[in-house]
Amino acid sequence: MTEFIQITLDGLMTGTVYAALALAIAVVFQGTGMLNLAQGEMAVIAAYIAWAALGWGLPVWIAILCAVVTSAALGAFTYQAIVRWVPPHREDSLMTLGVTLLLGLNALVSMVWGSDPRSFPSPFGTWVVHFAGVRLTSQQLGGAAMVLVVMVVMALVFTRTSIGLRLRAVAQNPRSAVLLGLRPGLWLSVGWASACVVGAVAGIVAAPSAGLSPGMMTVPLLMALAAANLGGISSRVGVVVGGLLIAVLTSLGGRYVPGLGGDLNVLLAFVVVIAVVLVKPAGLFGRESVVRA
């Protein structure tokens, strides 16, 4: 039983990164209809910026703050300079744009910082907590807490503030928002910036464990996409729950399902996702859109 609890807790700690990326993807998708496949690369850029700031001698939390702010600016710029010019109904163009951004940002990171893995120090120290036979590191606990705090703040902004009301109004019905005096371009930029803040935190939390490299968020991005499908990309709560479930499933599958050790443990999670999508296409918490002729 102790082993089962340990594996489940490890999965939940990892799942916070998947959940944060899935939330960032959902925010962008709900606002623009674009599946932002470059969200992982934007998180990688944030981690490299924090690493560079540490190299300049800045305190760790100031370096992280610089990375988060820069990531928000990158998100807003990406929307204003590129995404806003693609019509929302052109799903094929938006998908192509997502792939192009993914490849382009990955190449940019490799050009600027190289492709060799680098170490990223944990901002939470190196202590370990032992209780009831279970072991958790300071990086796991601090990283999970940091991600959860950011997600709770985002949830409060979206549901309890006038900023969130405007963001939701523009995302759900841009034409009606214009009639109310809102500027969709401005508020969708804010949405992209918010998504990139969440993604940046996910990248910075993942870097100490995964190692800093251009491809460090490739697997987490795939898991986040699976989480978005499992929980329902139309539900911000759903994608967070999906991210946690995906991580726990992969952890347990790698230990208890014969033949699924190592990288093959992701198969169990994707089998579950496919099964759920076949039964409930909108995901566990998502709502199917209704189109009236």
Query: Cα 292 from chain centroid?
Result: 33
Identify the pLDDT of residue 133.
Answer: 83
Q: What is the pLDDT of residues 233-260, one digit of tens each?
A: 888 889 999 999 999 988 888 888 877 7
pLDDT over 70, % of the chain: 97
Instruction: Work out the pLDDT band at 175, boundaries 50, 70, 90.
Output: confident
Q: What angle do CA 140, 144, 147 make, to 5 degrees?
A: 145
> What is residue 169's predicted lDDT score, i.e. its pLDDT?
84
Residues in the chain: 293
